[in-house]
Amino acid sequence: MAKITYIQPEGKSQIIDVSNGLSVMEGAVQNDIPGIDADCGGGMACATCHVYVQDEWFDKLPTKEDGEEDMLDMAFEPKKNSRLSCQLIITDELDGLTVSIPSKQG
């Protein structure tokens, strides 16, 4: 279990307990956190679960697989700290992770 903080583009933040094994995307979708669309359902086939990871967390995350960077090319305003939240799988180590949701997904 990890506490994940989701920050909306206008600054409002919500902290959610997400079980190990789920993704940061699923944590958002199952708890009705707006702004993470996840059109493809977590298959790394779209870029609509795009989030910005807080800098101090970015390097602690497992590295991206090849396809993720390719999909991020298609995300709305990708930055250096962009990730697809469907690819961030919760473990105890991610307790405290903070992600910001972009102003839109596409």
Closest listed residue to residue 45, CA positions, set 76, 21, 68, 22: 68
Q: Does 65 bind another protein (CB under 8 A)?
A: no
Please, how many CA atoms are within 13 Å of residue 51, restricted to the half-sphere of its CB? 33
Is residue 45 a contact point for another protein (CB under 8 A)? Answer: yes
58 binds another protein (CB under 8 A): no
Q: How far is the CB of 89 from another protein (least distance, A)?
A: 18
Which residues are CB-neighbours of 32 under 8 A, at least 6 positions away?
A: none
Which residues contact another protein by CB under 8 A?
29, 37, 39-41, 45-46, 48, 69-70, 73-74, 76-78, 80, 106
